[in-house]
Copies of this chain bind each other. A is one copy, B any other.
Amino acid sequence: MQTPKRTLSSSAAEPEPGPAAAASDVPARRPRGRPRKTITEQDDGNRRRKLMDKAAKLFLTKGYAATSTRDIAAAVGMHSGSPYYHFKSKSALLHAVMSEGMTAALESQQEVLDRLGPDAPPHEQLRALVRHHFEILLGPRSGFIPVMLYEWRSLTPAQRRDVARIKDAYEAAWMPALQALAHAGALKAEPAVARLFIFGALNWAVSWFSPRKGLSLDALSEQAMLLFIHHD
């Protein structure tokens, strides 16, 4: 990904606004993309990210509806109204978690496929996709995608459509490998149905997998491949 080009008007010598200026300066209307780095008492982008991280953790533990914006504020050391400085509603915070989580997952999945190259055997492509998906779901940086799996119904219809676009692209990337495997006789179910079953099997691991149970993500991926792929 490239760093976004600065617009001409926001070029070099722009003075850093102090806290007072930052407060009176219409904060609701930001330019699109990452918020620009404004030095307030705490770094702004970090606060936004921290809100999303803690919110995701709480949404996953207690559920979106049962988590109050006060819970989230307290978890990051803010006062009750302050999350609304960063997000215009509780719902927008949920949407940001899912949307940015899914975007990052789609990008890292594409990197995995690119690294493997288009001529890798489909068996290896699927193994890499499975392994990467477990990393997204269960790895040390996980959290946003599991929220998406459990809180889909908490989105508004418009938000759902928006996140679905990214999710569809993520899932569509599995089809070439599945179709190749079906063609080779290593996958016996219809690829479109197999994809749904396979995502179910993997996603469900969020509800039972514990890294301390002795199973590594590599071993878990291997078990999944053994279950789904028929060797001759």
Cα distance, A194 to B193, chains bound together (Å): 18
| Nearest-Cβ distance from residue A56 to partner chain B, whole angstroms | 14
Total interface residues on A, CB under 8 Å, equals 36
Question: Does A198 have its Cβ within 8 Å of any Cβ on chain B?
Answer: yes
Task: Report the nearest B residue to A205, measured CB to CB.
Answer: B200
A154 interfacial contact with B, CB 8 Å: yes
Q: How many copies, total?
A: 2
Q: Which residue of B lies closest to A230 (CB)?
A: B230
| CB 8 Å contact bits of A22-65 with B (1 = contact, 0 = none) | 00000000000000000000000000000000000000011111
Residues of B within 8 A of A230 (CB): 230
Q: A199, B188: Cβ atoms under 8 Å?
A: no
- The one of B153, B194, B224 in contact with A223, judged by C-beta atoms closer than 8 angstroms, is B194
Whether A228 is near chain B, meaning CB under 8 Å from some CB there, is yes
Closest to A187 in B: B227
Chain A 172-203: CB-based contact to B (< 8 A → 1; otherwise 0): 00000000000000011110011011111111
Which chain B residues border A153 with CB–CB below 8 Å?
A: 61-63
Chain B contacts of A66 at CB under 8 A? Answer: 65, 154
Q: Are A189's CB and B63's CB within 8 A?
A: no
Residue in contact with A197 in the complex, picked from B61, B63, B190, B224, CB distance below 8 Å: B224
- A: residues with CB less than 8 A from B are 61-66, 150, 152-154, 187-190, 193-194, 196-205, 207-208, 215, 220, 223-224, 226-228, 230
